[in-house]
Structure 1
């Protein structure tokens, strides 16, 4: 079996990565990745994976290609599994063929995992089909940056100039004036539409359309930079009509997500789907307890409770884990009433066969208590499976109503020992517009890692809080949230972000 994989990372959008590529990333022992490979993919690597950056951009080479080849061979000979992660497709202007030849010469087996190339993906995200029956029936992929050591150019400008094909140039922004001039000299009309797409498929994608005659001057005026794809041909005229990606409501808006990584995927995916540049900064992690004897005892005595109140999805998850561990299931709740604090918690219960008897309209403890009192919880035995450390308002108010309350820790949250340097750099560069907080613990832990004084240096960064309890915690650090949804849920938080960008 091969132990070296030349993997195409696609154009940058995480959704464009193939399933096979993700499988290799998750299992490799050594990751060797390029500048154009989305660094977000590295979070899928094993904790003990050796991660090596060998990126090249604009003449700035971390390692020259021959040294990269040597590195791959060296690591492969150690018997480890190597993922050589390259932007786009490894065999489309990715020099994967050269790396493959080196491996063959060294007697090392390898496998190629193709990726979606930017020459197709970037135009598509900019509303440009590279082929269209009304415009062209063929497409030509061309490097805009040839090997400088070659004695003569491999370009046949006469063919390009007279062709009716869509021309897609990779890595050509620096040579844009030369490309446009050579095409016009060789027969392409000066008014031929030309499009430039920078960072295609990513949240910071930008595009422009001009003509062959004017594109170089317009790009210079706009200080256009690499990495960009150049598209030449009539299909570029469809840009305004078919553009869809750059119409996304949160496109380019930097949003910090502070939720625990175990819970963040839904919010992250929703924000990315709306075009946001998501900065995952999990300030807390959700962990198992060291000892579950108390939980097991409570489960075996569950019949003595009239009510069980679940305050979070995590409470449901960890409680059910212990149910399963001792060979029980949802039938143990027969005859008692179940409350769920919030729709996500209610959904987690329904997935396990429990339809909650009570879901409050608002998801703060004070409102929950009034709703439970209306349902006659006074004097009942109540079990609350929750985090080890949480607000005490709910159990205290229920006790005041004469309830016999048992608070049962089923998990705990811990501060993630991460540096805040990356987020601070992103704020400094103006890449962050919002910091979102979904609980008091995310606020407290965020300010453990990034000081309030640092955040005050960036007044344009807005705080978005999920609800009043979290907002009170934000206020303790001297800030007033700019956004707080009417519905204290993740969907409500997203709606608040959208409303702020109308």
Structure 2
């Protein structure tokens, strides 16, 4: 009988250690060892004028909705609001949408009520899909990464909203530590968890083809395929449980036990 276990697996998580504590613990409960390494850095826009104008408009209550598609967007808006000395950053009358539980949690931790979160999906497309149809020319502010896809604004415009987009942050690739590069090149990891499309580039050139790539969400899976890489599994929600479930399914169905000595000595 096939068992759902990750015994003997070593997993690389492509995001900061501080955001991976629960996932590392859950993987250990299923027998895997895991290491978290950030693949990108989040940096402010080269020019903050657009974001500053958006933050001031938001604080003045001049938009009906603000939609956050990442924790990074929440942090960027709150940081600029503090720098501009405006409070509250989001008035009580403004509706707030969050892409998933982590983003909603970041908002609530800042004392901001969240009005809309998709039950499943954890992607921008899932968030846009659950937005109600606009009435009376409602407006949505969308603070986001400079490389974000146009999926969310397109769907919202189709639903009748006037969408204002502000670049809240940029992503830049971070060089991998030499020890991680060496382990990637020698097959030291059984699976790599890619947390966002921005994380695809740092891994593409150095990992072995037989190391499984696991994407968090459909956009990241699409980015892997666009780079000519095989996506072995997709976690359809950005929760730790969904990521581990994707790995367990992969272990049970696709891959034989990982023992390179045994495979090369026969």
When normalised by structure 2's length, the TM-score is 0.80
**SS at 2:103 equivalent:** helix
Picking from 357, 367, 370, the partner of 2:126 is 367
The residue number in structure 1 matching 2:219 is 469
* Contact 2:12-2:37 within 8 A present in 1 as well: yes
TM-aligned CA deviation for residue 493 of structure 1: 0.9
The residue number in structure 1 matching 2:148 is 390
* Contact 1:262-1:286 within 8 A present in 2 as well: no
| Unmatched tracts of structure 1, length 5 or more | 1-248
The residue number in structure 2 matching 1:178 is none
Query: For the pair shown, which has the larger CA radius of gyration, 1 or 2?
Result: 1
Picking from 225, 228, 232, the partner of 1:478 is 228
Distance (whole Å) between structure 2 residues aligned to residue 414 and residue 265 of structure 1: 23
| Unmatched tracts of structure 2, length 5 or more | 253-266
The residue number in structure 2 matching 1:406 is 164
RMSD: 2.7
Distance (whole Å) between structure 2 residues aligned to residue 320 and residue 368 of structure 1: 21
**SS at 2:11 equivalent:** strand
* Contact 2:122-2:236 within 8 A present in 1 as well: no
Please give the per-residue CA displacement for 1:442-471, whole angstroms capped at 9, x wherever unaligned.
113322xx25xx532xx2x21111122211
Please give the per-residue CA displacement for 1:204-226, whole angstroms capped at 9, x wherever unaligned.
xxxxxxxxxxxxxxxxxxxxxxx
* Contact 1:398-1:405 within 8 A present in 2 as well: yes
The residue number in structure 2 matching 1:294 is 50
Distance (whole Å) between structure 2 residues aligned to residue 480 and residue 402 of structure 1: 37
Q: Does 1:350 align with 2:103?
A: no
**SS at 1:348 equivalent:** helix
* Contact 1:253-1:431 within 8 A present in 2 as well: no
TM-aligned CA deviation for residue 492 of structure 1: 1.0
The residue number in structure 1 matching 2:40 is 284
TM-aligned CA deviation for residue 429 of structure 1: 4.7
TM-aligned CA deviation for residue 484 of structure 1: 1.6
The residue number in structure 1 matching 2:261 is none
Distance (whole Å) between structure 2 residues aligned to residue 384 and residue 288 of structure 1: 16
When normalised by structure 1's length, the TM-score is 0.45
Distance (whole Å) between structure 2 residues aligned to residue 272 and residue 352 of structure 1: 31
Return closer, same or farther for 1:486/1:289 CA change in 2, 3 Å cut-off. closer
Distance (whole Å) between structure 1 residues aligned to residue 90 and residue 237 of structure 2: 32
